[in-house]
Structure 1
């Protein structure tokens, strides 16, 4: 076996597969913004176990180009629990704990684990300056909850009744490739109780 035949059988990396997507040729966004989105997508998928990740270059509302490429995906666990929902979930957990203790089960705590929700992700660089106006342009182009990809086995996108404002995950990359994630809401949101 010669060296050339060994090299030709190597499969492409996940990043190469992403970059070869034919839909990318139809976008007007600069290559550096697409590359940034792929970097964040790779980080979410392989470091944080997100699934059903999808690149968005056009608004799902107007079908016009978004101010910059966005991602959507499903995190491994819920990122944000609305304070009212948190109270509701704790009450339900308390009911289950009391029912379990009546049945003789030991150590039934107040654990609750809400189902993960699809989230929007805005890839950014730390060196960028973001204003409320720029964030508003992004929020104006998105729905409350991103639609599930057609290939996902999740079925229809469920909208949580407690989700009353648009939100996104601001993914900020530093020059050393460190990624920090922040949740940003469109408007004023009641603070969480800890």
Structure 2
């Protein structure tokens, strides 16, 4: 299913913004028959989102270790929309129903395992199969300004600051 011209241009604006303004790697378009429009996915240069419960576990682990825990970036979904589009909760729900929590090329480990083959620390378990569905909503304005917002499948408690 080919995207109409205006959707193709919208996707192109967001794709270029991610690659050239925000230094994302491997940004690709995802076209699926069960999606009403294409999504993008790619790898940001740094980790963009930490689940609030994972954040607590990381702080505890850093305190025990006495050193910071590196936060590797994760492959993320991106939904390009134009500011003038009106989307309902049902449309967002349909997109969430059509995707996996982890985009293609992301880490989808059955069990979190460390380098020595043992089970990793508890904070690591928030990645991979336990990761909730989330999409970075890329809202494009008429002047090609792109604003990004997180949207989640279901309720997510607020982060600790």
TM tier, smaller: 0.7 to 0.9
Give the TM-score, by structure 1 length: 0.69
Q: What residue is the counterpart of 1:191 in the other structure?
A: 158
Normalising to structure 2: TM-score of the pair? 0.82
Indicate the residue corresponding to 2:13 in structure 1: 39
Residue 80 of structure 1: how far off its partner (Å): 0.9
Shift of 1:111: 4.2
- What is the rounded CA distance, in whole Å, between the counterparts of 2:51 and 2:153 in structure 1? 14
Matched, 1:50 2:24: yes
161-170 vs 85-94, which moves further: 161-170
Aligned counterparts of 2:68 and 2:50: Cα–Cα separation in 1: 14
How many aligned residue pairs are there? 144
- Asked whether the 8 Å contact 2:102–2:131 carries over to 1, the reply is no
Please list the CA deviations of residues 72-129 of structure 1 after superposition, one character each: whole Å capped at 9, or x if unmatched: 01111111101111111111221232xxxxxxxxxxxx64441111110000011111
SS of 1:67's partner is coil
Q: Which runs of 5+ in 1 are unaligned?
A: 1-26, 59-63, 98-109, 149-155
Question: Where do 1:37-186 residues align within 5 Å?
Answer: 37-58=11-32, 64-97=33-66, 111-148=68-105, 157-158=107-108, 161-162=125-126, 163-186=130-153
Over residues 108-167 of structure 1, what are the superposed CA-to-partner deviations in whole Å (9 max), with x where a residue is unaligned? Answer: xx644411111100000111111101101111111011011xxxxxxx723563244211
Q: What residue ranges of structure 2 are gaps of 5+ in the alignment?
A: 110-123
Larger radius of gyration: 1
The CA distance in 1 between the partners of 2:72 and 2:108, in whole Å, is 11
- Structure with the larger RCO, 1 or 2 (CA within 8 Å, 6+ apart): 2
CA distance in 1, matches of 2:10, 2:34: 17
* Distance in 2 of aligned mates of 1:112 and 1:190: 23
